[in-house]
Amino acid sequence: MHSRGIAHRDVKLDNILIEDKTNMIKVIDFGFAAFCTNQQKLKIFCGTPSYMAPELVRKHEYDGRQVDMWALGVLLFALLAGAFPFRGQSESELYSKIQRAQIKYPETLSRDAR
């Protein structure tokens, strides 16, 4: 996707499918997707709050591919830990924690997984 200049901008568990017969992973729901070049910064605030990168929650211009990679990291954390790395009682509390990017790893995660 990225090598073709496409940023998904809503990478999350709900948008990943695994095909039964082949175990092929498929990314779905390209409703927020955008074409981007190496120098182009995006300005549209979009995505799912728990997966948003710090630059998104700060409402700064951003590289769509980088926010996809951040969201992929959140997705991987959720798969391994069974919970999101950042949680809050409100969106503003969640966004504050994302901006600080301080993660507490569950003790159940192996050193390699961390």
* Catalytic site includes residue 68: no
Which residues pair with residue 6 across a beta bridge?
35
User: Under the phi-then-psi rule, with left for phi > 0, alpha for psi from -120 to 50, and beta for the rest, what region is 9?
Assistant: left
- Helix, coil or strand: residue 6: strand
**CA-CA distance, 52 to 56, in Å (whole number)?**
6
The number of residues in the chain equals: 114
- Active-site pick, 10, 14, 29, 112: 10
Distance CA 54, CA 97 (A): 9
Q: Which residues are marked as active site?
A: 10
